Amino acid sequence: MIPAAFTYLRAGSVDEALALAADGGDDAKFLAGGHSLLPLMKLRLAVPEVLVDIGRLSELSYVRADGGDIAVGALTSYHDLAQSSLLARELPLLAQAASQVGDPQVRHRGTIGGSLAHADPAADLPAVVLALDAALIARGPAGVREIAAADFFQGLFESALQPGELLTEIRIPRPASAGWSFQKFTKRAIDWAIVGVAVTGGRVALVNMGQQPVRASAVEQALASGAAPRDAPDDLNGDVRYRSHLARVLTARALDEAAARA
The answer to the question of residue 92 being in a domain is yes
Residues 63 and 164 reside in one and the same domain: yes
| Per-residue pLDDT, 245 | 84
Q: How far apart are CA 255 and CA 180, in angstroms?
A: 8
Please write the tens of the pLDDT for every residue from 172-222: 999 988 899 999 998 888 888 889 999 999 999 999 988 899 999 888 888
Residues 151 and 112 reside in one and the same domain: yes
Residues 87 and 109 reside in one and the same domain: yes
The domain spanning residue 229 has which CATH number?
3.30.390.50
The answer to the question of residue 2 being in a domain is no
Residues 187 and 166 reside in one and the same domain: no
Residues 49 and 132 reside in one and the same domain: no
- Other CB atoms within 10 Å distance of the CB of residue 210: 15
Please write the tens of the pLDDT for every residue from 8-45: 999 999 999 999 999 999 889 999 988 889 999 999 98
pLDDT band at 229 (very low <50, low <70, confident <90, very high): low
Number of structural domains found in the chain: 3
| Per-residue pLDDT, 18 | 97
Please write the tens of the pLDDT for every residue from 249-260: 999 999 999 999
Q: Are residues 256 and 202 in contact, defined by beta-carbon separation less than 8 angstroms?
A: no
| Per-residue pLDDT, 224 | 82
The domain spanning residue 63 has which CATH number?
3.30.465.10
Domain region containing 208: 180-261
| Per-residue pLDDT, 246 | 85
